[in-house]
Structure 1
Amino acid sequence: MYNVLVSNEKAIQSQYKSHVYADPENVTPSIVESRYELTKRKGARYVPAAFLTGLLDPVNSRVEFVELFAGLEGRIPILVMSTSGSPKRSKAEMEALRGAKGVSKFVEVPGALLPQEEYPKVVADELYRFLLEIFESKA
């Protein structure tokens, strides 16, 4: 199955500008080109179908998703980074983890679906602060 939604540069640019990045000005020609190149790799034609149908998810419900984190309570520190500009449904999944058992810290950063690409310094700073907190509490 080949998905036309991500099979050409114009479609990729449109998706990135509409909901993948928070600021359409951050969608550069080089980003679009690099994503398009990914669609040409062996086996790449199957990824969009799995992503769009939800078959990449290891769980069937939000409750099951949140329970995954609860099972890690006290075993591993978990930082959840939500984004201020994410699409409504994605934001709801992120918000389900706010205050959830097993989540050590919940922060909101700028961006949409790929804040680590769009705002890497902000994401790195939050991660650095979290790691400092974890290591300093164990010292």
Structure 2
Amino acid sequence: METRYGLLRGTLRAPAVGWMMYNMLVSNEKAIESQYKSHVYANPENVTPGIIESRYALTKKEGARYAPAAFLTGLLDPVQSREEFLELFAAMEGKTPVLVVSSKGSPKRSKAEMEALRGTKGVNKFVEVPGALLPQEEYPNLVAEELYRFLQENFESEA
């Protein structure tokens, strides 16, 4: 698997081929709109021209083409397995309150990783909100309400 990811990462970072792939697959309004409507947002009607324009502008920033390659190939992941991921949370048990905000419409693989945190040692509260991969953007008020409630429950008496 690492060989395949290494090949993909290398191809996307290559001077000419990587630039072409990035512009065809990532850095164009149609690709961005398609991704947001298919799996980034839960409700395609929430994907506005303003969102597409702002994401497109980000793809034109210096060095932006390297981020998708790192993300897609796991280079940004702090751990190599789900077990290591869960251990990070277990290590926080009793040290700091942890809220996990999961989204109801996430793609299967993302949802499975979120669900693995339900009831895990170190996770104080697990909530589900509408949305897919970016519920904090798509439904900011609902996410803010959950966060506010969690902060009140865990820190209000300390003030």
User: How high is the TM-score relative to the length of structure 1?
Assistant: 0.96
1:131 aligns with 2:147: no
After TM superposition, the structure 1 = structure 2 runs for residues 47-66 of structure 1, keeping only pairs within 5 Å, are: 47-66=67-86
Distance 1:12 1:79 in 2: 30
Tell me whether 1:82 sits opposite 2:108 in the alignment. no
Distance 2:137 2:155 in 1: 26
Q: Which of the pair is proportionally richer in helix?
A: 2
Please say if 1:41 is aligned against 2:61: yes
Give the secondary structure class of the aligned counterpart of 2:127: strand
Q: Confirm or deny that 1:13 pairs with 2:29.
A: no
Residue identity matched to 1:127: L
Residues 84-103 of structure 1: matches in 2 within 5 Å? Answer: 84-103=104-123
1:71 aligns with 2:91: yes
- Superimposed CA distance per residue, residues 90-114 of structure 1 (whole angstroms, 9 cap, x where no aligned partner): 0000000000000010000000000
| Structure of larger gyration radius | 2
- Partner SS, residue 132 of structure 2: coil
**Residue type of the partner of 2:65?**
R
**How big is each residue's C-alpha offset from its partner over 1:47-81, in whole Å with a ceiling of 9 and x where there is no partner?**
01111111110100001001000001011110000
Moved more, 128-137 or 89-98: 128-137
The count of aligned residue pairs is 139
Report 1:113-128 matches (<5 A). 113-128=133-148
Local SS of the residue matching 1:58: coil
Q: Give the residue type in structure 2 aligned to 1:126.
A: E
Corresponding residue number in structure 2 for 1:28 = 48
Give percent identity, aligned residues only. 78
Q: TM-score, normalised by structure 2?
A: 0.84
Aligned-residue offset at 1:15: 0.2
2:115 maps to a residue whose letter is E
Distance 1:114 1:27 in 2: 11
| One-letter identity of the residue aligned with 2:38 | S
SS at match of 1:44: coil
Q: Deviations over 1:20-55 (max 9, x none)?
A: 000000000100000000001011010011111111
Q: CA deviation at 1:5?
A: 2.5
